[in-house]
Amino acid sequence: MNSLFCFGLGYTARALARSLQSKGWSVAGTSRAASGVAEFPTIPFDGQGRIAGDALGGVTHILVSVPPDGGGDPVLRCCSDEIIARAPQLAWVGYLSTTGVYGDHGGGWVDEDTARAPLSERAKARVAAEDAWLALCRDWAVPVHVFRLAGIYGPGRNQIEAVLNGTARRIIKPHQVFSRIHVEDIVGVLEASIARPDPGRIYNVADDAPAPPGDVVGFAAELVGRPPPPETAFETAQLSPMARSFYGESKRVSNRRIKQELGYKLRFPTYREGLKALRPT
């Protein structure tokens, strides 16, 4: 039996776990919360010590969605020896990174061969984590694949909900564009990679339509028949430091590799299809 173990059962990992479980896979993972994740068997993991017991016994596939912290990658810090020891039984390891590693390109296109130029400390930590996981592949034959995810949206996390609950904002910064991706397409890409493993490979996971964030909010409002929130200039917007840092980067993320090498066809090629599918009935 194929067996998936998720380090971090967050939003995206749970979506993959549900999909694979429905196909007959065994699924388990870690959670920081003592109560775990009700849908799946969970083991406590806080990034400070080894996971309890023989958690990776019989595991064939690993997904890592735990972000780096001030001390580096928590999974490698605590579990690298065990993962290396299990390398012969592992068919696939996926590390979820971010397109933030590319930094700012003034709205220009980036692909997987573009030099990484992270701006924030958070993105710099991701670069270091990517390198550490790829070193595990190079030096210890752990079948690592890196997925650089664009802005994630999907059920329970989208601009329609923000419009309906009154939290949506249209922040306007000229020439600002972001790439984004529906969570179901992330799952589709991960499953395509699992079916066609290529250890050491890096994939951008983004849709076909990079767009200004204000356009997405406006379209979401139109779908539910609400007036769009007023435009707010970026210079005068009250934003958290993390939110402001996102607006410091503008780029268009190429998804050519997932199409050409994995043969993946996006279910939601733009935010328009994605948001239409999320519109309340």
CATH number of 3-153+182-207+254-266: 3.40.50.720
Dihedral sign for Cα 144, 38, 155, 66, please: negative
pLDDT-based confidence at residue 63 (cuts at 50, 70, 90): very high
Asked if 179 contacts 210 with a C-beta cutoff of 8 angstroms, the reply is yes
Structure tokens at 11: 């939003």
> In the prediction, which pLDDT does 36 show?
62
> In the prediction, which pLDDT does 49 show?
82
pLDDT digits (tens, 9 = 90+) for 36-56: 667 898 998 988 888 877 889
DSSP class of residue 225 equals T
Asked if 66 contacts 47 with a C-beta cutoff of 8 angstroms, the reply is yes
pLDDT digits (tens, 9 = 90+) for 217-273: 999 999 999 999 999 999 998 888 888 888 889 999 999 999 999 999 999 999 999
> In the prediction, which pLDDT does 34 show?
60
> In the prediction, which pLDDT does 281 show?
81
Give the mean model confidence (pLDDT) for residues 136-142.
Answer: 97
> In the prediction, which pLDDT does 149 show?
98
Cα separation of 159 and 112, whole Å?
A: 28
pLDDT digits (tens, 9 = 90+) for 110-126: 999 999 999 999 999 99
pLDDT digits (tens, 9 = 90+) for 162-217: 999 999 999 999 999 999 999 999 999 999 999 999 999 999 999 999 999 999 99
Residue 33: pLDDT above 80? no
Location of structure tokens 């767009």: 211
Characterize 141-150 residue by residue with b for buried, 16 or more Cβ atoms within 10 angstroms of its Cβ, and e for exposed: ebbbbbbbbb
- Contacts of 94 by beta carbon, 8 Å cutoff, 6+ apart: 61, 62, 63, 64, 144, 145, 146, 147, 190, 193, 194
Residue 77: pLDDT above 70? yes
Name which of 38-47, 68-77, 90-99, 196-205 the model is least confident about. Answer: 38-47
> In the prediction, which pLDDT does 39 show?
87
Give the mean model confidence (pLDDT) for residues 80-105.
Answer: 96
> In the prediction, which pLDDT does 70 show?
87
In whole numbers, what is the pLDDT of the chain averaged over residues? 94
Query: What is the reported pTM?
Result: 0.96
> In the prediction, which pLDDT does 46 show?
85
> In the prediction, which pLDDT does 26 show?
97
